[in-house]
Each structure stands twice: as C-alpha cells, then as structure tokens.
Amino acid sequence: MKIAVLSDIHGNRHALQAVLTEVNKEAVDEIWCLGDLVGYGGDPDLCVELARANFAICLAGNHDLAARGDLAFEDFSVGAELAARWTAETMRPDNLAYLKQLKSERIEEDLALYHASPRDPIWEYVLSTLLAELCLDSQARRVALIGHSHVALSFNRPAGEPATGEARRGGSEVDVAEGEWLLNPGSVGQPRDGDPRAAWLILDSSRWSADFRRTEYDVEGAAAAIRAARLPESLAERLAYGQ
C-alpha cells in the first residue's frame, strides 16, 4: 500500500492545501495523519474539514486534545497556550466533535502509529538515538510512524546493532525493508528543521520505501491568517524560518 503520511498541520490550511495538491499527483492509496490538526495556526476549522474529507486515518495530537478539552491549557508554553485557548473558542462544534473521537495511537497490520512516541503517544519528543532505542524496544511493529517534534528524521536499528538517526531532507528516499525503524515525516504546518517548506512522507509498504518530501506553500498567507486571529506575532514569524 502506498500511503501519504502527514503530521502536525497546526491550523495551517495554506500548507495543507499545497501538500494535498502534491499528494493527488502521486496516486496514493490512503492519506494518514499523525495528529495536531490544530494549534498555532489561524485556520483550524478549514484544516479539520480537509482532514475529514481526505484522511483515512487521523490521530489526536496534544494540541487536538487541548482544543477538545482533554488537556489543560497550562501544560503548554505561552504562545501555544494562547493559540490553544483561541482554537477551542473559535472552532465549530462539529469539527470539535471530530477531534473528540480521535486517538493518539493506532496499530495497523504492518505499521504502528503514534502522535509523539511509542512510550508516550502524547508528549515525548524523540530526537536522540538514546531515546529512540527505548522507543524501538516498545513499539508494536517493526516500522513505526511518529510526529510531534516537527523534525523530519529516521531512526534505524539493524538486527544486533545499536540505533542510528538521521535528519531527512526533501528528496531523500530510504529503504526500510530490513531492521527496525522510527520514521517522522516532519511537520506540514510548522516545520522546525530550518526548511520552511511543508514536510511529509510517502511510505510504500509493499516496496518498503520511505520517500521524504518538501512542498513550497504560501507562507505569507499562513502568517496573515495568524495575524488576523490576533495570535502572537512570533507564531507568524517563525513560519518563514522553519523554526
């Protein structure tokens, strides 16, 4: 099966629409999302509508849990907290109801999906090989998909060897047929790896290849939506730097 894997959209409908346009050229079987449809960005309702129309699987991220009332706003950093409160107040009830039924992990036949990590699907950031080893020990399938850190990367542990990790640029294609893997597509709506383009992944589970992608989008449009919502200026500015 050929799957487009998206994560951390964060209310950025400009980025999501650009990625969906690219996905539609790829004849994928399904689109999966690892969570955080909302939070930070100025268009949460539009993003949830696109999710409802396009995603076969969607997880709940920490920001989705806050918007729907299942996490305390105080658990977030200041900018994220303001955005979470605004998101919860702004969103349409039917879109909040969609968020309400999402789970933070899901185990498929060949793949395990977690918003953040196999050990803690809601909060843990997997950015070191030390932590990746612990995650590889506890993931439910040989290949796991994670989001949350907003950094496109892969961790690999061949049989009997220690894990190694690599940040993944757009255009890098990885053979994941052997060994254990943790794959993070990076963030559609708020990349934090220095590349402002929307990050996503095509995973082919019959060939076992992972193809990391980047897509340019209207960053100024997304920043304008954040300003129109009167959310912190820093949330608009960081999009241009990919941080």
Site residues, Zn ion (CB under 5 A) = 8, 36
Cβ 150 to Zn ion shortest distance, Å: 6
Cβ 170 to Zn ion shortest distance, Å: 19
Apex 126 CA angle, 76 and 43, nearest 5: 45
Q: Which helix (H) or strand (E) holds 45?
A: helix 44-54
Q: Which is nearer to Zn ion, 148 or 213 (CB)?
A: 148
Strand order in the sheet with 111-114: 105-107, 111-114, 143-146, 180-184, 153-157, 164-167
Residue 175 to residue 218: CA distance in whole angstroms: 32
Question: What is the amino acid identity at position 37?
Answer: L
Residue 187 to residue 43: CA distance in whole angstroms: 16
Q: Which is nearer to Zn ion, 66 or 163 (CB)?
A: 66
Cβ 8 to Zn ion shortest distance, Å: 4
Q: Which helix (H) or strand (E) holds 8?
A: none
* Closest-CA residue to 192 (of 238, 239, 242): 242
Cβ 142 to Zn ion shortest distance, Å: 25
Cβ 7 to Zn ion shortest distance, Å: 7
Residue position matching structure tokens 């346009």: 21
Q: Which is nearer to Zn ion, 36 or 180 (CB)?
A: 36
Q: Which is nearer to Zn ion, 165 or 185 (CB)?
A: 185
Q: Which is nearer to Zn ion, 8 or 180 (CB)?
A: 8
Q: In this structure, are residues 61 and 115 in contact, taking their beta carbons and an 8 Å threshold?
A: yes
